A and B are shown apart, each in its own frame.
Chain A
């Protein structure tokens, strides 16, 4: 793999991250992060949709008139999301129930539309496909970080496995209790704020004046 294609994959992981730098696709990023498992599934779904919508739109880019491109993009993306939704319902039904409307909201996820507009319409299919994978990975990375903290601090588990022993809890005679507020929506927002804070402290060129 050439260094250029590698850059498409790794760029969106940190310096050009879709969630914390471009501030795209926040809606679904926060709602599905109460536990790690739905977050991983959601990350993979978005990655698949971004990669394939980039690929399809890149293949079609010379045949679609600019005036109707938005509606064509929406149709392509919606069709891909329906496929993802049906696959999730078939193979991981419980997670699909947990994700509820947020699978449908991948259609209006700005990352998907944004990458198609900004990248796929002006680049070759293979490069667009890699760019889609990279941005999907960048999105999944943030989701996993948030979900890691929320599940660990909020319920003492990771991926459903108990990490904090039962005997530590106060009602079992111990000293520990879960940080219940981690399970509520506002904490996801505050965690993203903290991740942005930490990230920009290391990447000073991203700071706003």
Chain B
């Protein structure tokens, strides 16, 4: 039940985009068509589901105080370790996908390098570390669930945004507001809509 709650809350309540603004740069830049948004969302969800548990293991067995050597706190190294894991993993995925599935590679190809510097991925790992500290994530399974949930939340947000932006292509928007301006305001309104989920407890 606790795990299901974590899953639901990481998608809707603590949504990466609407509650924490993670991954906004690519969210604004790539949300012009639904098809590309789906591709990027899929790639982000996959990388997120893999890197959060990987970083969970590293955090538990290497970085946490006294985990590696008794009395040594390596947690100040977590930024550099997490980003190294993410960058290496993205590189690895890129090579594997290129070798085994050229069609998927041609669809995802341009997005994969973008993901290494997507704040949603790094932010997911950092939040996971915080939630471990706060006792909200207690085991490996829950870290997988959190990674998957937060990835899906981001995916949902970017696809919804892309769908709305496709619809408003021909609307009469003030010239100065076209492009990023209206995108921000729409995201804000969607965020207000998502606030209705904030009371849900399973």
Contacts and interface: CB of A to CB of B under 8 A. Distances in A.
Interface of A: 20, 23-31, 70-71, 74-75, 78-79, 81-82, 85-86, 100-101, 104-105, 107-110, 113, 181, 184-190, 192-194, 196-201, 204, 207-209
B24, B78, B82, B123 pick with most chain A CB within 10 angstroms = B24
Contacts, number: 143
A35 B78 CA distance: 27
Contact of A108 (B119, B177, B183, B191): B119
Given A27-B23, A82-B80, A201-B176, A193 B188 contact: yes
A186 B195 contact: yes
B189 A186 contact: yes
B174 A26 contact: no
A208 B32 CA distance: 14
Query: Chain B: interface residue count, which band?
Result: 35 or more
Contacts of A101: 123, 126-127, 130
Interface string B6-26: 000000000000111111110
A27, A85, A105, A196 pick with most chain B CB within 10 angstroms = A27
B137 to A, nearest CB: 14
A74 to B, nearest CB: 5
A207 B179 CA distance: 8
Contacts of B130: 100-101
Given A27-B22, A27-B25, A186-B189, 17 more contacts: A78-B80, A82-B77, A101-B130, A104-B79, A105-B119, A108-B121, A184-B191, A188-B21, A189-B21, A189-B188, A189-B191, A193-B184, A196-B180, A196-B184, A198-B176, A204-B175, A207-B176
A204 B176 CA distance: 7
B185 interface: yes
Given A101-B123, A104-B79, A190-B188, A27 B181 contact: no
